[in-house]
Every structure is written in C-alpha cells, then in structure tokens.
Amino acid sequence: MDYGIRVVLVMNRKGGSGASTLCRALASAAAARGKTVTIFDTDASTSCLRWMRAGKAAGNRSSLVEMIHTLDAHRAEL
Ligand SMILES: Nc1ncnc2c1ncn2[C@@H]1O[C@H](COP(=O)(O)OP(=O)(O)OP(=O)(O)O)[C@@H](O)[C@H]1O
Ligand SMILES: [Mg+2]
C-alpha cells in the first residue's frame, strides 16, 4: 500500500545522540527501496551535507536523495 509522502523528523536536544546517523540510515533505506528522499538539514555541523558530498565524490551518491540546507546550516563554514 502506498502511504504517499512521509515526513520524518529526527531531532534531539542533546548533541551527539545519533540524530544524523539515523537520518542518513533512513534516507539510505528508503532510496534502496526506490523512494525519493529530501533531507532538510538544519544542523550547523553539516554532517548530512558532508555525507552527501562524500558519496558524490566516491561515485555512489543516489540521485533519489536530495539535500536542502535550511536555517543555520547554510551559514556554516564548509
Ligand atoms: N547506534 C550507534 N551506535 C554507536 N555509535 C553511534 C550510533 N549512532 C551514532 N553513533 C556515533 O555517535 C556519534 C554521533 O552521532 P551523530 O553525529 O549521528 O549524532 P548527532 O545527534 O547528529 O550529533 P550532533 O549533535 O553533532 O548533530 C558519531 O560518531 C556516530 O558515528
Ligand atoms: Mg547531527
């Protein structure tokens, strides 16, 4: 059954709790099943952005996964 668009919020007030890791795992799992994914990264640490870039550089970035930088992420030093 197709449930349409799903929105999953991954956040935690405490840093280093695995939020970005879980986000990347969920995005990878969905893309592996042929789903398109848009990650809205609001984290100044830009770990998801760097993950996307590393995947692209390694030649294994999925075209199904898109990244949008929001809030303070776009102001971070890259
Ligand atoms: N299930 C897990 N088991 C062991 N280590 C983990 C697990 N999930 C994440 N980590 C490790 O914990 C560290 C922090 O994870 P992550 O960057 O995903 O957390 P975060 O909540 O996004 O942190 P930040 O506050 O910096 O954004 C990383 O080194 C990651 O590899
Ligand atoms: Mg994070």
Q: How far does residue 24's CA lie from ligand 2's centre (Å)?
A: 10
| In-domain check, residue 14 | no
Q: How many domains, in total, are found in the chain?
A: 1
For the chain, percent helix, then strand, then coil, each to nearest 5?
40, 15, 50
pLDDT one-digit tens code per residue, 26-62: 999 999 999 999 998 888 788 888 899 899 999 988 9
Closest C-alpha to ligand 1, atom 1: 18
pLDDT in the model for residue 78: 47
Binding site membership of 18 for ligand 1 (Cβ less than 6 Å): yes
pLDDT for 73 beyond 50: no
| In-domain check, residue 69 | yes
Rg (CA), the chain: 13
| In-domain check, residue 5 | no
What does the alpha-carbon distance between residue 51 and residue 66 come to, in Å, rounded to a whole number? Answer: 12
Binding site membership of 17 for ligand 1 (Cβ less than 6 Å): yes
pLDDT one-digit tens code per residue, 8-22: 999 988 989 999 999
- Orientation angle between helical segments 19-32 and 47-57, nearest 10 degrees: 40
pLDDT in the model for residue 69: 75
Domain that holds residue 38: 19-75
Q: How far does residue 18's CA lie from ligand 1's centre (Å)?
A: 3
